[in-house]
Amino acid sequence: MTVDIAVIDYGMGNLHSVAKALEHVAKGARVAVTDDAKTILAAGRVVFPGQGAAPDCMREIDARGLREVVKQAASEKPFLGICMGLQVLFEHSDEGDTPCLGIFPGQVKRFVQARMTDAQGRRLKVPHMGWNNVRQPRPHPLWAGIPDGERFYFVHSYFVVPAQADLVAGYADYPAEFVCACARDNLFAVQFHPEKSASAGLRLLANFVSWNGKPA
């Protein structure tokens, strides 16, 4: 059976929340949490989530033979990366010195604890965990109806550094500015967790579910 939305399951973390949130915003849609290449490539749209560490993610993607499947899906249909599903789209992660998928040019770096102080000089913790403001440097169909500066839920210790400025679709500050959303063609990927970001997150997922895969 062809599914409307395939959530790629590569054994990294809790995909239940992502699937439930998609079902919540896409009433009646067929959502499958799957590692089956055929199901993923036949789906109308694909969500690429993930938690944990980059080396484990890449190892599991390869163990399940999903590297080329992810690349193909990312080249041809509406595709949403979440958290680790943003990071491993890049060329390389400093986490475990891990070569990644190389779909986006750029690197993944860690927050440097020594530089983590806020405006009052108080120490900021790593992981960056909680609700932070997301700036939208440009409009995108997935930002529709979401105010610029809206808060989303983050939990991560690494962040992406794209090699092309035109990939950037969102920024947050912790304490320095970092890129928390990237977009190109049919791809949109975010560092935060829309499935855990209450109404703003559900709106972003709803926008994805109705997105035609065009950047504007």
Residue positions annotated with a catalytic role: 83, 193, 195
Stretch that binds another protein, among 2-10, 49-57, 160-168, 183-191 (CB under 8 A): 49-57
Per-residue binder mask for another protein (CB under 8 A), 148-187, x = binder: -x-x-xxxxx---------------xxx------------
Note the residue count of the chain. 216
Contact 11, 52 (CB under 8 A): no
Closest to another protein by CB, 77 vs 174, is 174
| 102 phi-psi bin (left φ>0, alpha ψ -120 to 50, beta other) | left
Give min distance, CB of 214 to another protein, in A: 27
Phi, psi of 198, deg, nearest 5? 50, -140
The span from the CA of 216 to the CA of 214, in Å, is 6
- The site for another protein (CB under 8 A) is made up of 12-14, 16-17, 20-21, 23-24, 51-53, 113, 118-119, 122-133, 135, 149, 151, 153-157, 173-175, 193, 195-198, 201-202
